[in-house]
Chain A
Amino acid sequence: MNVEISDLTRRFGRHQAVAEVSLQAGPGVLGLLGPNGAGKTTLLRMMATVIPPTTGHLRLLGRDPGAYGPRREVRRRLGYLPQNLGYYPGFTVAEFVEYFALLKEMPAARVPAAVATAVERVDLSGKARAKLRTLSGGMLRRVGIAQAIVNEPELLLLDEPTAGLDPEQRVHFRTLLRELGQRATVVVSTHLVEDVGAACSQVALMDQGKIVFVGTPGELTARGTEHGTGDAPLERGYTAVLAAARA
């Protein structure tokens, strides 16, 4: 298992953002669904080693990220796209991706080729020399994805990766996700259930800090056949599970 989580809790003062979550994930694409404030981003930030858990156990890529050495090893093999992508406006696309490749301590000789590949995979080869300040929001999102995948991560954590992407790019991105999921563990936090249906092999649904459903997209869809509301089958499953959990 690349991700092993047991009884993971994170508190911010009195607020419990994530409550005793247990989860395991191997290679494949895991969709993390849930309403606003469900705790998806906090869970993802703990998995990305940005913040430590308050209690519980977390193992990533077979290592304990609580210790310095293993955490560093995990970070070398990690890709992360935060919800709000900060960037340096003066950097070009290629420079920004190269910057993160170097920070991820990739072998320096392999960096140029890796940067070119990552930029190509997000369909930004034509903009490789463009300054980030000149890019649209969707293009910046793709730059964020490129920096996350530049080191060919074994664990890829994406927080709302398709926000701002146009439909064509979203289709392209789903294909990329499926590709990446063949040999890495990809965790995608999103509001967009159609992304989950199209790209994820597994889905976990969070509400109020807890995981209330884990299964395949097909299983989630099945939950909504009688009680769910929404336009798409997966949406009906989503709303049905949430309603059941809150009841």
Chain B
Amino acid sequence: MTAASAPAAPRSAVARRGAGSAVLGSGRLLRLELRHNAMLWLLPVAFALFFYNGYREIMALPPMWNLRAMTVQNRLLLDLLIPVTGAAAWMGSREGRRGITDLVAVTARPRWSRQLVIWAATTAWAELACLACVAVVYLITARQASWGGTLWWPAVVSVAGVPTLTAIGFAAGAWFPGRFVTPLVTVVMFFGVAYGTQAASGDHSYWQISPLTTGAVGIGAAPGVASFYPYLPDLSIAQVMFTVGLTVAVLGALGIPVARMRWLAAVITVTGLATAGTAVALAGTGRLDPHGMIVIPALHDAASDQPVRYTPACSRTPIPVCVNPAYAGFLPAVTAAVGPELTEFAGLPGAPARLSQVPLVYRQVSGNGVTVGGIGTGPAAFALPDQVPGWLGTTDAEFAAQLDEGLGLHLASHVILGDGPASAGAPSQAELAVIAGSVRFPPSVESRDLGPLYGQVLPQPGSPAALAARRFAALTPAARHAWLAGHLTALQAGRVSLEQLP
């Protein structure tokens, strides 16, 4: 059949587009999608979730860059997961839900390209939410932190994780365009990601690849990590590789059904999967370094093993106490807790001219177990515990008690026992009494698990030496100092009995 023989049709409004026009067209499409994106409406939800979950916890931490930045990585993605994945799934299923599939299927722009624009708009708003949360925490921390610079790697991992969430959510929505896919994929993703953080065990765990995992499993965000040594980006690099690879793979898979682009999409998908798989394998080669971070040999830069240079913050006490400037905020608490010991031992033979903080030493044991050491490299060195006020609910009183039992006891035992408890042989009861009295034998001592120290640097509770220690502790620091100045040599020589103690 031939329809009416009307005049020949002129060329239509469609003209071959140049690259500039294509870019401009994509830009306008993106603008439209940005304006009508579900993620835009979920931004307040994202901010509220972060505020109630992550932000309040992060701001309760001491203002140390390492603590806050690593906790941001640990919390932010999980807080954003529900609105971000949900919005992406909703946008991915939009064409199917709205019954517009036929209409858009006959347009010239390939489906893959159209989907990528929608995904990009969703991701742009999600990234805005992520960056805003990071910016707030970092700006406040920059104003509060006593020392140190911005730790970017934890933020980079979070930022790189957002497109992965949107890609997975979007693909689920596009492949299964129903209204129930949004809650379903959101719940599955939430529990999947949360499980990923719980499944890791030890420094060789492949599960460390989870972008929520900060630092070593079993340590996480701790004050002693990345204070004295640079933040090692090894694990972060692997995590970014993983998230980028996964994103590329999922987005590539979206294009596989598109004719002509099938091979390109398949190559992109395989490349993404290979990148993600390589990252997982790399994470499995990790090992805990003594500074509490994960070293991945293939990604490790030996230059990162050099300690950070800093000018310590020192107290004006009889024996100056010098700490890493990142810990400067805790210096008053330190000097208050061990102030009497500093007065008592200043100027005595064997007493250090000053006390300098040294880094903690972390060592991986079986499973997720990590031992933390560092105290006892000499009378002039001490390590502050990770349990600083504000970290995991640690109170000022608990911090002071730890210092009494750690730094105070460390200083007293070194001064009283000479070269240290390990090399001095069995100490006399009088020496134990003086040590315990010098640290004022705090009530917490008997209630805590200090059993291994009894007979080594502390007297047995209830023993005559313990009674003498209480008598000695009742003296003022100046009085104890005066007595020790006159009797320390005799005490160390074993010529002072318990009865002779003041």
Contact = CB atoms under 8 A, between A and B. Distances in A.
Chain A complexes with chain B: yes
Interface of A: 1-2, 23-30, 45, 48-50, 68-69, 72-73, 75-78, 80, 82, 84-88, 90-91, 95, 98-100, 102-111, 114, 147, 151-154, 181-185, 201-202, 204, 211, 214-215
B7 A182 contact: yes
A26 B2 CA distance: 6
Interface stretch (B94-102, B274-282, B468-476): B94-102
B465 to A, nearest CB: 81
A86 B10 contact: no
B2 A1 contact: yes
Contact of B109 (A29, A82, A105): A105
Given A75-B107, A103-B109, A105-B17, A27 B12 contact: no
B107 A23 contact: no
Contacts of A25: 1-3
Contact of B106 (A50, A87, A99): A50
B3 A201 contact: yes
A109 B99 CA distance: 29
B99 A86 contact: yes
Interface in B1-21: 1-10, 12-15, 17, 21
Contact of B32 (A26, A73, A98): A98
Given A82-B102, A103-B29, A183 B14 contact: no
Nearest to B109: A103
Contact of A28 (B3, B36, B99, B114): B3
Contact of A75 (B7, B100, B106, B114): B106
Contact of B4 (A78, A80, A202): A202
B194 to A, nearest CB: 33
B28 interface: yes
B3, B98, B99, B106 pick with most chain A CB within 10 angstroms: B3
Nearest to B17: A107
A28 B3 CA distance: 6
Contact of B28 (A23, A111, A181, A182): A111
14 contacts: A25-B3, A28-B3, A29-B3, A68-B260, A88-B100, A102-B109, A107-B15, A107-B21, A108-B21, A108-B24, A183-B6, A183-B7, A183-B9, A185-B3
Q: Report, as a range, how many residues of chain B touch the other chain.
A: 35 or more
Given A91-B36, A102-B28, A102-B32, A151 B14 contact: yes
Contacts of A29: 3-4
A175 B65 CA distance: 71
Contacts of B103: 80, 82, 85-86, 100, 147
A109 B439 CA distance: 81
A154 B99 contact: no
Contacts of A214: 1
Given A88-B100, A214-B1, A28 B6 contact: yes
Nearest to B99: A86
B6 A201 contact: yes
Contact of B114 (A1, A103, A109): A103
A219 B95 CA distance: 42
A77 B8 CA distance: 15
B105 interface: yes
A90 B28 CA distance: 17
B98 to A, nearest CB: 5
B139 interface: no
Nearest to B10: A183
Most chain B beta-carbon contacts within 10 A, residue among A30, A75, A201: A75
The 3 residue pairs across chains A and B that have the minimum distance between CB atoms = A201-B4, A86-B99, A86-B100
Contact of A105 (B2, B6, B10, B108): B108
Nearest to B105: A50
B2 A88 contact: no
Contacts of B8: 27, 183
A74 to B, nearest CB: 9
B259 interface: yes
Contacts of A73: 108
A152 B95 CA distance: 24
A182 B13 contact: no
A98 B252 CA distance: 27
Interface in B379-406: none
Contact of B101 (A86, A98, A104, A151): A86
Given A102-B28, A204-B1, A2 B9 contact: yes
Given A82-B102, A201-B3, 20 more contacts: A24-B3, A27-B4, A49-B105, A75-B108, A77-B12, A85-B103, A86-B99, A88-B98, A91-B36, A95-B35, A102-B25, A105-B25, A105-B108, A106-B14, A108-B27, A151-B13, A151-B14, A183-B8, A201-B4, A202-B4
B424 interface: no
A87 B13 CA distance: 24
B104 interface: yes
A177 to B, nearest CB: 12
A116 B101 CA distance: 25
A152 B1 contact: no
Contact of B13 (A24, A86, A114): A114
Contacts of A98: 28, 32
Nearest to B100: A86
A27 B14 contact: no
Contact of A184 (B9, B15, B102): B9
B12 A154 contact: yes
The CB with the most chain A CB atoms within 10 A, among B13, B22, B95, B259, is that of B13
Contacts of A27: 3-9
A202 B260 contact: no
A15 B434 CA distance: 100
A26 to B, nearest CB: 5
Given A25-B3, A30-B3, A86-B98, A100 B9 contact: no
